Structures are given as structure tokens and as C-alpha cells.
């Protein structure tokens, strides 16, 4: 039996713990032996994005050591997964630490779609949802096709959502345009960040959806902040909560 190490990113752990719980429940319901290493820490993405990349090396070493024993590492966060996958080998190379996790870490949606190849899910979610494609998810993890490329259109998120009974799935215009969060970008350029978020929300709300869903709580958090301030008529839910509905 495969054994999965569950990685829960900082902001999920601190602000959206229900997303971590849903991920664990969903994996267990599919018969996957799932373990949560209690001594896990931040992957280092915020520090690296802020210009303190060297300070992330010790975190990368720690992460790699505690998750080395598992067949797969799974997380409900496209951006954190992409950081480990794309940057850990380079960060660890100077210390001659052979990175063991970059090749086996997956976003939960990627894992369900590409590795487990799930064909059915147990839950119901009788609501209209608009799918939010995060930048890391599209362009680094390839959870959906990038609109600027002349390739056949696909969306692993939509494929998974289609397995949930009662759901109606929509996509906004400018389907993979950035919401404006961008981690440190939203701190350094707050006015631009908010304007981008407002534009993105107009397109999501225009679909008539009740909820916006996606694979990154960070993007959803940014948009949710604008919705709460401006009292806009739409709600938010992480995609794994929909996929785990009823568990």
C-alpha cells in the first residue's frame, strides 16, 4: 500500500484548517494510508519570495528529511507544492543534499487526477461554482491549460469537480488571468493587487456562481478580503472541501 505524507501549508494550518482536515478525510476515504508529520514547518516560499532565499535552505533540508520516508507528499496548495518541486533541488545542491521530495510532491488535485486517477467521488454539492485557476497551478503544475498556448484545452480541476453530484461548474472570462495576490506582490503593490482582484471578481460574479473555488487558499483569501470589504454577493470554498463533501 502506498503511504502519503500530508503537508499542510502555513496559511492553511493557521487560517483554513478545515481545508487540511478535508484533504486528510478525502485521502483516507480513498484507501490511502496518510500520515501527518507533526514536526513539519513552512516550506520557505514566503522568505524566498521576499529576497531571503538563503534562509530557506535549512527549511528545505528539514522538509526533505521528514518527508523522505513517504511514497508521495501531498498538499492542498498549488503554490507551495510548486515551490518545493521547482526550487528545492537548486536550493539544496550547494550543500550536496540530494533532494528526495521534489519528484514526489503533488497538489491534492494533481494527485487525485494523475496518480490515483479517481473515477468517482462520494459527495454532493448542489451549487453553482466558478473555478479560479491560480498562476502556480496553471503554469508550474499544469492543473489546466494556459490560455496563451496553442494546446488543447483541459482542466484537471473541472474534471474532478464533474465527479461531484449536483454541482454546476463555470469558468470566468480571462480564465487564467492573475487575481493579483502574488504573495509579496500584494504587500509591495497593494493598490495594483486590489484592482486586479476587483477585475477578477467581476468576471467570477458574472458567471452567476454562488461560490468561487480553486486549489490555492492564498488566492481565495485575497479575493475573499475584497468581497468582505465591498460586500459582494459570492462565497468561497477550497476545491478539496467540495471533493470531500459529505465525508
At the topology level, CATH places domain 3-116 in Rossmann fold (3.40.50)
DSSP 8-state secondary structure symbol assigned to residue 100: S
Q: Are 56 and 195 in contact (CB under 8 A)?
A: no
Q: What is the pLDDT of residue 180?
A: 87
Residue 183's pLDDT is 79
pLDDT, tens digit (0-9, with 9 covering 90-100), for 37-94: 999 999 999 899 889 999 999 999 999 999 999 999 999 999 999 999 999 999 999 9
105 has which bridge partners? 73
Q: How far apart are CA 116 and CA 21, in angstroms?
A: 19
The sheet with strand 33-35 has its strands ordered as 33-35, 3-6, 72-75, 105-107
Residue 111: name the closest of 81, 151, 148, 86 by CA: 81
Q: What is the radius of gyration, based on Cα positions, of the chain? A: 18
What does the angle CA 10 – CA 70 – CA 52 come to, to the nearest 5 degrees? 35
- Prediction pTM value: 0.94
d(CA 203, CA 97): 45
**For residues 172 and 206, what is the distance between their CA atoms, to the nearest angstrom?**
7
- CA 50 to CA 178: how far, in whole Å? 19
3-116 against 128-243: fold identical: yes
- Give me the pLDDT at residue 163, please: 97
Q: In a 3-state reduction of DSSP, which class is residue 189?
A: coil
Residue with cell 508529520: 37
Structural domain spans, the chain: 3-116, 128-243
Q: Tens of pLDDT along 151-204?
A: 999 999 999 999 999 999 999 999 999 998 887 787 888 899 999 999 999 999
In terms of CATH architecture, what is 128-243? Answer: 3-Layer(aba) Sandwich (3.40)
Q: Which of the four pLDDT bands, split at 50, 70 and 90, describes residue 120?
A: very high
Grouping H, G, I as helix, E, B as strand and the rest as coil, residue 42 is coil
Amino acid at each position: 500500500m502506498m503511504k502519503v505524507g500530508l503537508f499542510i501549508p502555513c496559511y492553511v494550518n493557521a487560517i483554513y484548517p478545515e481545508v487540511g482536515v478535508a484533504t486528510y478525510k478525502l485521502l483516507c476515504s480513498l484507501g490511502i494510508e496518510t500520515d501527518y508529520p507533526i514536526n513539519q514547518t513552512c516550506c520557505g516560499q514566503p522568505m524566498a519570495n521576499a529576497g531571503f532565499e538563503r534562509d530557506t535552505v535549512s527549511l528545505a533540508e528539514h522538509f526533505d528529511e521528514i518527508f523522505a520516508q513517504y511514497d508521495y507528499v501531498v498538499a492542498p496548495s498549488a503554490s507551495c507544492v510548486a515551490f518545493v518541486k521547482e526550487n528545492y533541488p537548486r536550493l539544496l545542491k550547494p550543500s550536496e543534499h540530494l533532494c528526495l521530495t521534489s519528484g514526489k510532491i503533488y497538489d491534492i488535485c494533481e494527485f487525485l487526477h494523475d496518480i490515483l486517477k479517481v473515477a468517482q467521488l462520494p459527495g454532493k454539492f448542489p451549487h453553482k461554482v466558478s473555478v479560479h485557476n491560480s498562476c502556480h497551478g496553471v503554469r508550474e503544475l499544469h492543473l489546466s491549460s494556459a490560455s496563451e498556448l496553442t494546446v488543447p484545452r483541459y482542466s484537471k480541476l473541472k474534471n474532478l469537480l464533474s465527479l461531484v453530484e449536483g454541482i454546476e461548474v463555470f469558468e470566468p472570462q480571462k480564465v487564467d488571468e492573475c487575481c493579483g495576490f502574488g504573495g509579496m506582490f500584494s504587500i509591495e503593490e497593494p493598490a495594483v493587487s486590489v484592482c486586479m482582484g476587483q477585475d477578477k471578481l467581476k468576471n467570477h460574479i458574472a458567471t452567476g456562481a454562488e461560490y468561487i473555488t480553486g486549489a490555492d487558499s492564498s488566492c481565495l483569501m485575497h479575493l475573499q478580503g475584497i468581497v468582505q470589504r465591498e460586500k459582494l454577493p459570492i462565497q468561497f470554498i477550497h476545491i478539496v472541501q467540495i471533493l470531500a463533501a459529505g465525508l
